[in-house]
Amino acid sequence: MPLGNHPSFDRPPVTTQLWRYTDLSKFVDLLSSGKLWLTNAEILAADDPYEGTPGAVQFPHRMWRTLDEVPEQLRDQIVKMCSQGTDDTPEAAFRGWFMGEEQRCIMMQSGRRDYYINCWHASGHESVAMWKIYGSPGAGVAIVTNGARLENALSGNTEDFYLGAVQYRDPSFVQVGGSNAFDTIMLKRSSYSYEQEVRLVHWHTGEFHDALANFAWNDATMRFEDIIDDPRPIRPGMSFSCEIDVLIERVIVSPFAPPWYAPMIERVRDRFGHEFPINMSTLLNAPLFLP
């Protein structure tokens, strides 16, 4: 199935080079399984607690208790959008909007575990920072591909996938409301902009948990009660069939690796019957000089 199109995903040109810096164990797992691993967003949140909820303030609508406390521009929008179905008073529109925001935020937090992500670095060249952070210094490789290769390599799957560049925002940014659930998955704080991340995302909808199935809204406290916790253990990730020689344009061996490392990677490739080229990084080679 081809990669899906969605307004939340700013898909890079198909020729954009995508790099995945990884350690030996993950590389061997890819070759031996013939499957691409996508990590659960809840697992990624262990390293970045803002994962899937990038706003500087969680539940930002709770800053206000009455319509008069809301900034004027947003106040006008609330009244225009939310008056229908109420008693037509501005305060009723506010309370209806507030309940909707409360519902959206709770469902967003509850549903984060349904997203599975595979991360790539978009660049026309190697990155020393990426080697040091993700390449397990001295024992890493970088897989080089592009969007077209990713799409073709995953085409044998029936599940939906989306590919897009992550958008970075200032950590002080506060957002009330959102047009789509995918938006929060494709946003990160600007502190991570050095990653130049492109994400492959699968939204697993087959095991939906409704945290608000009781829909017990307390109009006095302006909170939902009897929120249902998800009893399922968090699934660390999902693997999807992948044509390895289609996916991989080439593999680059870490510039920090010892001399014996590249031949070992070649033997691993050959053992699993693949044909992609393997090159040693020249990133830290001494410059040429004239006599």
Buried b (16+ CB within 10 A) or exposed e, 116-137: bbbbbbbeeebbeebbeebbbe
Q: What is the pLDDT of residue 59?
A: 86
Q: What is the pLDDT of residue 68?
A: 93
Q: How far is CA 213 from the centre of its chain?
A: 27
Instruction: Report pTM.
Output: 0.90
Tell me, what's the pLDDT at 119?
97
Distance CA(256)–CA(270), nearest Å, equals 23
Pairing of strands 197-203, 115-122: antiparallel
pLDDT at 54: 65
Q: Tens place of pLDDT for every residue, the chain, 291 residues?
A: 779 999 999 999 999 999 999 999 999 999 999 999 999 999 999 999 888 876 767 788 999 999 999 998 888 888 887 876 556 788 889 999 999 999 988 988 888 999 999 999 999 999 999 999 998 777 899 999 999 999 999 999 999 999 999 999 887 777 777 667 788 899 999 999 999 999 999 999 877 889 999 999 999 999 999 999 999 899 999 999 999 999 999 999 999 999 999 999 999 999 999 999 999 999 998 888 888
Q: What is the pLDDT of residue 207?
A: 78
- Give the 3-state DSSP-derived string for 205-259, with helices as H, strands as E and coil as C: CCCCCCCCCCCEEECCCCEEECCCCCCCCCCCEEEEECCHHHHCCEEEECCCCCC
**pLDDT given for residue 179 in this prediction:** 62
Question: Quick one: pLDDT at residue 151?
Answer: 97
> Please, what is the end-to-end C-alpha distance for the chain in angstroms?
57
Q: Check residue 178 and give its pLDDT.
A: 66
Whole-number pLDDT of residue 156: 95
pLDDT on residue 105: 87
